[in-house]
Structures are given as structure tokens and as C-alpha cells.
């Protein structure tokens, strides 16, 4: 004869464990980190870059990128910093700063996402500038990195974002998960989620990114091709969770 009391106890326990597991998954968040990357182009090591996420308190965070590369007579040094609010599974940008120097023309840009909906971009793009008002879910080039990470943790497979670019324009970026892949890095081999950017019209463009669940879904590799020529291959070599 079936012991109804035991069956009921088992069902209650199973439901409880499932609820705890679901809550744990829903509560998983991107944690502050420091990551160092080697940068390659067509097999040549060009230099290094680092990305760091810092918690400032009151749900405010900064994500910063610093890089310096040299290749033949070409040099490029840049710094990008995004300040944003991070609550639940959503980012709300506050400001973005971009500073690039080296071969060619230097370029600086600041973007302020005001709470009244005003968007201030300095300097404004001379061609197709971003509008003077911004909408919910808009991001900048750096907060985009974080939102992709958050959406991967949530299990999403396709993503579409409205981005204020480092040229001061408003663009739509589309991505999709195309599978899992073992990648080799300066930290060893990892099973990574491979994400591709979708280009609607640019036939000879490609961009792939690999995120590692073992490292809290951190970006571990980023590769880009433009007009059939490899532009860069960014590979993680060090990661510290803060």
C-alpha cells in the first residue's frame, strides 16, 4: 500500500528544491571583475587590453576598457568607460566616455543619458547624429557588453539593442547564440557560448564573441572580420572576480 504521507512529503520537498533552484538562477548576477586580454591580428600579438567592472554602491556600476596596441607603423590607444544602474536583469545607462589616440585622427566622445530623457552627445556626429531624446533600453558601446552577459545568464538566444555608438550615432545591433565551442585561452581551455552579430546588409562582415559560464559568462574571446580581412582577435589571459 502506498504511504500517502510519505508521497506528500516527497512532493513538497521536490517543489521546495525546484523553487530554490529557480530562485537561485533568477538571482544570478554579473559580479565585479578584472580581465586581461591579448590582442592579435592575423597571428601577430599587438598588445594587451583590460576590462573591469566595479560596483560603486546604490546599484551603480562602471565598466571600463583600456587598450594599447602597436602593429607595424600603426598604433592605437583607447579608453572607454560606461556608468550605469544595474537592477534585476536590466541596465540603465548614465554616461559614456570614449577617448582614442594614435595613428590617424584622435577622437573623444561623451554621452549623457539624463533622467528627464534628454540625450547629450558631444561632439555631435556630422552625419546622421543621434537624437536629442533617448528611450528606455538604449545602451552605449560598453553597457552593451554587460547587457549581453546578463541576457546570456537569463538564457536568451537572440538579442537586439539600440546603441549610441562611439561615433555619436544611433544604431541597431542584433546578435544570436549559434552554439557552444571549446576555446583555447591564456587561462586554458573553456566550454564557451558562441554569439554572432547579425549583419543584415554587410555581406563581408563578421563578428563572433565567446562567453564562458564558468567565469560568470564573461567575454573570453572577441573576433571581427571586415571586408574579408581579420581586424582583431581578442583572447582572455587573466580573470579575477572581485
pTM, two decimals, is 0.84
- Cell 561615433: give the residue: 167
CA angle (3, 5, 6) in 5-degree steps: 70
Residue pLDDT tens, the chain, 242 long = 444 444 333 333 333 333 333 334 445 788 999 999 999 988 888 899 999 999 999 999 999 999 988 877 788 899 999 999 999 888 999 999 999 999 989 999 999 999 999 999 999 998 999 999 999 999 999 999 999 999 999 999 999 999 999 999 999 999 999 999 999 999 999 999 999 999 987 777 899 999 999 999 999 999 998 888 888 899 999 999 98
**Beta-strand relationship, 138-140 and 158-164:** parallel
Specify which residues 67 forms β-bridges with.
49, 78
pLDDT at 21: 36
pLDDT at 41: 85
Q: Please tell me the distance from the alpha carbon of residue 96 to that of residue 121, in angstroms, as a whole number.
A: 9
Taking domain 31-241, whether its CATH number is 3.30.1490 is answered by no
Amino acid at each position: 500500500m502506498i504511504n500517502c504521507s510519505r508521497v506528500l512529503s516527497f512532493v513538497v520537498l521536490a517543489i521546495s528544491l525546484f523553487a530554490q533552484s529557480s530562485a537561485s538562477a533568477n538571482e544570478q548576477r554579473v559580479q565585479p571583475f578584472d580581465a586581461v586580454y591579448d590582442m592579435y591580428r592575423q597571428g601577430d600579438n599587438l598588445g594587451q587590453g583590460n576590462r573591469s567592472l566595479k560596483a560603486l554602491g546604490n546599484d551603480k556600476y562602471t565598466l571600463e576598457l583600456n587598450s594599447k596596441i602597436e602593429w607595424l607603423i600603426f598604433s592605437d590607444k583607447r579608453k572607454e568607460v560606461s556608468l550605469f544602474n544595474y537592477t534585476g536583469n536590466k541596465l540603465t545607462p548614465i554616461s559614456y566616455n570614449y577617448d582614442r589616440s594614435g595613428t590617424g585622427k584622435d577622437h573623444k566622445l561623451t554621452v549623457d543619458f539624463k533622467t528627464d530623457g534628454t540625450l547629450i552627445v558631444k561632439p555631435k556626429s556630422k552625419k546622421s547624429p543621434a537624437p536629442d531624446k533617448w528611450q528606455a533600453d538604449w545602451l552605449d558601446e560598453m553597457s552593451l557588453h554587460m547587457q549581453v552577459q546578463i541576457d546570456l545568464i537569463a538564457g536568451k538566444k537572440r538579442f537586439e539593442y539600440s546603441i549610441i555608438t562611439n561615433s555619436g550615432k544611433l544604431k541597431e545591433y542584433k546578435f544570436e547564440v549559434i552554439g557552444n565551442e571549446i576555446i583555447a585561452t591564456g587561462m586554458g581551455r573553456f566550454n564557451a557560448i558562441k554569439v554572432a552579430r547579425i549583419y543584415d546588409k554587410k555581406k563581408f562582415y563578421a563578428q563572433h564573441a565567446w562567453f564562458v559560464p564558468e567565469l560568470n559568462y564573461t567575454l573570453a574571446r572577441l573576433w571581427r572580420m571586415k571586408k574579408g580581412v581579420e581586424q582583431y582577435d581578442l583572447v582572455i589571459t587573466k580573470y579575477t572576480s572581485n
